[in-house]
Structure 1
Amino acid sequence: MRSFHGIGLFILLLFSASISGQIRHPKASPFSSVTQDIGFTTITVDYSRPAVRGRQLFGKLVPYGRIWRVGANESTKFTTNTTVNVLGNTLEPGTYALYAFPEEGSWEIAFHRNTSHWGDGRTDYNPSEDAFRIRATPKKEADWQENFLISFDSIHHNGALMEWKWGYTVVSIPLEVDTQKAMLDTISSSLKENPTAQTYYEAARYLQEESLEPEKALEYVQKAIDLGGDTYYFYRVRSLLQASLGDYKGAISSAERSLQLADAEGKDEFVRMNRENVKKWKKWVKENKE
């Protein structure tokens, strides 16, 4: 009797599973998400990654002249936490759907406010809901990309390239952010509130990296040294600033001090970088004497 009841329960469970749910299976175009910091801006793109699988891509699998969801499954979502400039167009903080209208020689790309459409939203898509559209020229690369890929490259404090790669085709979209204004405002306010040696160093380092106000940056790094003492990275930035102002003898002296301090702490990378700069600047001084 117990055996009968056990078999009956097993059959009942199988029957219930068959009518109440479906078998979970992996997606042919798996979900992916890429997040990139650009200065103080954080951008996230959520999308799915279809594979080529031997098919002809653009003009066939992705027809020319028709809307494409920039991936597969749900529409691709682009989220930014600050204002982004895209080829002269202002994109306010928020989430947008990305759509493309590929053609053989040029693509039209839409940043779309309505993120509720499934897939490409072909029947519901309304151009009036675009934040804006831009044009981009697709290029061919030597390296093959089997699964559609969205990535970021050429990243600096104030911008980056968002790149779409599939097969041999690459589309690059330049993004710009105003990190400089935010950073200069931060420096100004920080230097008014009991600045430390590190505060002055960080201010000097940013100005040096961005080639801004080298004389002021040199004052800041000197204050960092006065307050914080001899530190290899203080003297490293000082040497770079002096070189940018044409004071190569001063730059050599600062680099040699940075090298000495870095060597004492086992900072091999800074030893190497300083040694290379000393060699380069000594050569410049010698050539300009003759």
Structure 2
Amino acid sequence: MKRVITLAFMALTMVFTTEAFAQEFSGLDKSPMDAASFPTDYKVADKVVKIVYGRPQLKGRSLAELAPAGKVWRTGANEAPEITFYQDVNFGGQDIKAGTYALLTIPGDKEWTVVLHEGLNQWGSYFYKEGNDVARVKINSTLAEEPLEEFSIAFKEVEGGAHMVMGWDTMRVAVPITMEATKM
């Protein structure tokens, strides 16, 4: 009898223990996180820059609806992207100290303003304060023939550095980054 009670107690303990450690995992995010870095070769240990961002999809909507002209946009989905410079750089003509910044943009018809901001860990751009801007650069936008369904960021190597290229639908914006900060 004692053995039956002990076995029953052990079985109940296992049931409740399993329930206590059971974990619910959510499905895939509708706008998954992604990262891009430069140099893009993962064999290179010394990265210059890395960005982590959410990748929204058009899903039949317009770019103007999702990233309205003249309004601060989180530049992706969910949290504002965080861009880390591992060394001092020149970003679109402005010298930037090594560090991590939020990346926001203000879309326009022919020109986008790209903003490096001190406000890390912020959802979207809802808590944006212009006074916390580290840099603002104006970059001409171009149109591509092939549209992109998902918002994307990539780095393209150029002489003396890279261009951080942002693309969505047919819009493209390329911010020059050089490793030689000019005035620091």
Give the number of the structure with larger relative contact order, counting CA–CA contacts within 8 Å between residues 6 or more apart. 2
- What letter is aligned with 1:136? I
- Shift, 1:172, TM fit: 0.7
- Shift, 1:107, TM fit: 1.4
- What letter is aligned with 1:36? F
Matched-pair contact (CA < 8 Å) for 2:38–2:162 = no
Identity value in percent: 28
Deviations 1:138-172 (A, max 9, x none): 1100112111110011433x211110011111011
- What letter is aligned with 1:178? E
2:116 aligns to what?
A: 111
Q: Radius of gyration: which is bigger?
A: 1
Instruction: Name the CA distance, whole Å, in 2 between partners of 1:27 and 1:117.
Output: 18
Root-mean-square deviation (CA, aligned residues, Å) is: 2.7
Partner secondary structure for residue 123 of structure 2: coil
- Shift, 1:48, TM fit: 1.1
Deviations 1:86-138 (A, max 9, x none): 23311100001000111222211111112131222x2x211111111011121
Unmatched segments (≥5 aa) in structure 2: 1-7
Instruction: Name the CA distance, whole Å, in 2 between partners of 1:173 and 1:26.
Output: 30
TM-score (norm 1): 0.51
Matched-pair contact (CA < 8 Å) for 1:41–1:177 = no
- What letter is aligned with 2:69? Y
The correspondence for 1:69, drawn from 70, 74, 92, is 74
- What letter is aligned with 2:174? S
- What letter is aligned with 2:109? E
- Shift, 1:31, TM fit: 0.8
- Larger helix fraction of residues: 1
Tell me, yes or no, if structure 1 residue 89 matches structure 2 residue 89: no
1:207 aligns to what?
A: none
- Larger strand fraction of residues: 2
Partner secondary structure for residue 53 of structure 1: coil
2:144 aligns to what?
A: 141
Matched-pair contact (CA < 8 Å) for 1:108–1:133 = yes
Instruction: Name the CA distance, whole Å, in 2 between partners of 1:23 and 1:46.
Output: 22
Instruction: Name the CA distance, whole Å, in 1 between partners of 2:157 and 2:98.
Output: 22
Matched-pair contact (CA < 8 Å) for 1:139–1:169 = yes
Could you say if the C-alpha distance between residues 76 and 115 of structure 1 is closer, same or farther in structure 2, counting changes exceeding 3 Å? same
1:240 aligns to what?
A: none
Instruction: Name the CA distance, whole Å, in 1 between partners of 2:100 and 2:34.
Output: 16
How many residue pairs get aligned? The number is: 165
List aligned pairs for 1:226-237, cutoff 5 A.
none
TM-score (norm 2): 0.79
1:30 aligns to what?
A: 32
Q: Give structure 1 regions of 4+ aligned residues with deviation exceeding 4 angstroms.
A: 20-23, 38-41
- What letter is aligned with 2:143? K
Deviations 1:248-287 (A, max 9, x none): xxxxxxxxxxxxxxxxxxxxxxxxxxxxxxxxxxxxxxxx
1:176 aligns to what?
A: 178
1:54 aligns to what?
A: 60
The correspondence for 2:162, drawn from 160, 185, 190, is 160
Instruction: Name the CA distance, whole Å, in 2 between partners of 1:90 and 1:178.
Output: 9
Matched-pair contact (CA < 8 Å) for 1:84–1:176 = yes
Partner secondary structure for residue 60 of structure 1: helix
Matched-pair contact (CA < 8 Å) for 2:93–2:137 = no
